[in-house]
Chains A and B, each alone.
Chain A
Amino acid sequence: MQEYQVYGRTVILAASACESARLMLNSKSQRYPNGIGNSSGVVGKYLHDSTGADMGGILPQLFDRKRYNEDGVGGMHVYTPWWLDAKKDKLDFPRGYHIEYGGGFDMPLYGFNWGIEQLNGSYKVKGKQKEAGGYGASLKEDYRFFFGASIGMAGRGEGIAREDSYCEIDPDVVDKYGIPVLRFHTQWSDYEIKQAKHMKETFKEILTNMGAVITWGDDDGEHNNWGLHNPGNIIHEAGTVRMGSDPKRSALNKYSQSHDVKNLFCVDGGQFVSQADKNITWTILALSMRASEYIVDQMKKNNI
Chain B
Amino acid sequence: MNRRDSLKALVVGGLAATTLVEACKQPAKENAAETATGNQPDQSDRMAEEKAYAKKLAAEPKFFTDHEMATITVLGDIIIPKDDISGSASDAKVPDFIEFIVKDMPNHQTPMKGGLRWLDLQCLNRYNNSFIDCSHTQQMEMVDEIAWPKKAKPEMRQGMAFFSLMRNLTATGFYTSQIGVKDIGYMGNTPNQWNGVPDDVLKQYGLSYNEKELKECISFDKKA
Give residues in A with beta carbon < 8 Å to B.
Answer: 52, 54, 56-58, 61, 65-76, 100-119, 121, 131-137, 139-140, 143-144, 147-148, 150, 152, 154, 215-216, 219, 229, 233-235
Count of A-B residue pairs with CB < 8 Å? 220
Contact B18 A131 (CB under 8 A): no
Residues 157 to 177 of chain B near chain A (Cβ within 8 Å): 163-164, 167-168, 171-172, 175-176
- The residues of A that contact B7 with a CB separation of less than 8 Å are 115, 118, 215-216
Q: How far is the CA of A116 from the CA of B190 in the complex (A)?
A: 27
Q: Using A118-B6, A143-B184 as known contacts, say yes or no to A106 and B171 having CB atoms under 8 A apart.
A: no
Closest to A144 in B: B184
Is B48 part of the binding interface, using a Cβ–Cβ cutoff of 8 Å? no
Q: A107: shortest Cβ distance to chain B, in Å?
A: 6
Instruction: Kindly identify which residue among B13, B148, B184, B186 contacts A134, using a CB–CB cutoff of 8 Å.
Output: B148
With A103-B15, A109-B28, A143-B184 as known contacts, state yes or no: A234 contacts B9, CB within 8 Å: no
Chain B residues with Cβ under 8 A from A74's Cβ?
A: 15-16, 18-19
Contacts of B186 in A (CB 8 A): 67, 105-108, 147
Per CB-CB distance, the 10 closest pairs between chain A and chain B, nearest first, are A115-B6, A71-B188, A150-B14, A102-B16, A75-B18, A102-B15, A75-B16, A74-B16, A111-B9, A111-B13
Decide if B80 is an interface residue (CB 8 Å cutoff). yes
What are the residues of chain B within 8 A of A154 when measuring CB–CB?
19-20, 22-23
Q: Roughly how many angstroms separate A233 CA and B24 CA in the complex, as a whole number? A: 8
13 A/B residue pairs, CB under 8 Å, sorted by A: A57-B11, A68-B198, A76-B18, A104-B16, A108-B184, A110-B176, A111-B12, A112-B172, A116-B10, A132-B148, A133-B150, A134-B148, A139-B79
